[in-house]
Structure 1
Amino acid sequence: MDARVPALAEQLLLIERELRVLGLWARVPPSDEALSSGQPFGVGVLAFEEWLQWIFLPRMKLILESDADLPASSGIRPMAEVVYRERFAEVGRLLESLGEFDRLISGVG
């Protein structure tokens, strides 16, 4: 098992928590068509928080639980900074959690 798995699992929980605190956690999933979009981050089809909740978090949890190979890098925080550029103060903790996830995946620090 990769030594980063526990810390990555913790970051996934923190990301979910922040989405819930911000009121960005949905009870109902988007349409099957939206979820099957091949666009990076679901751009144009899903809101960024929908992509986090319904695509990113489940896929990463599956990778961690199955001890599959981790991605070599992650650039989720920069995308979140673009999406939430008008709301930095409000989404600061979410950005921090996403940045820490990126850092852990890349093995930096």
Structure 2
Amino acid sequence: MHGVRQRLASTLLEIEAELRRLGWWEEQAPSTQALASQQPFCLDSLRPEQWLQWVLLPRMQAILEQNAPLPGQSGLFVYFEECWRNRGVECAALLALLTRFDELIAIDAAARRH
């Protein structure tokens, strides 16, 4: 289980690096109101890549640092594949990282069930 958490931490760093490589990393945070959206993925107030940077990465880093339980499931790939379907190969590496993230969450969830 510890290995999964280490691989997740590494995957989060790779997601950040890929966001930076794509030029999607932002220095200025969205407004508090935008981040407080109750919609899944803050879809009414953030672009998908903003949600990754300002919501997913900090939440997951906090979970890992606090050794808190990981989410029971993740379906990031399906959502982001749909969001970026017209961007083609530009997003291929980022989508591969989100697939790995989903898989690691599934591995952890399966291990906790047994």
Q: Partners in 1 of 2:88 and 2:17 — Cα distance?
A: 17
Amino acid at match of 2:17: R
Runs of 4+ in 1 over 3 A off after TM superposition: none
**Higher fraction of helix:** 2
Amino acid at match of 1:80: F
Equivalent pairs: percent with the same residue? 46
Q: Tell me the secondary structure at the aligned position of residue 82 of structure 1.
A: helix
Aligned-residue CA RMSD in angstroms? Answer: 1.2
Q: Partners in 1 of 2:92 and 2:48 — Cα distance?
A: 15
Q: CA-to-partner distance for each residue in 1:12-47, whole Å, 9 max, x for gaps?
A: 001101100000000101111001111110111100
TM-score normalised according to structure 1 size: 0.95
Q: Partners in 1 of 2:53 and 2:89 — Cα distance?
A: 21
Q: Which runs of 5+ in 2 are unaligned?
A: none
1:62 counterpart = 2:56: no
Q: Tell me the secondary structure at the aligned position of residue 27 of structure 1.
A: coil
TM-score normalised according to structure 2 size: 0.91
Q: Partners in 2 of 1:2 and 1:75 — Cα distance?
A: 22
8 Å contact from structure 1 (residues 73, 102) kept in 2 = yes
Q: CA-to-partner distance for each residue in 1:41-74, whole Å, 9 max, x for gaps?
A: 0111100011000000000000001000001111
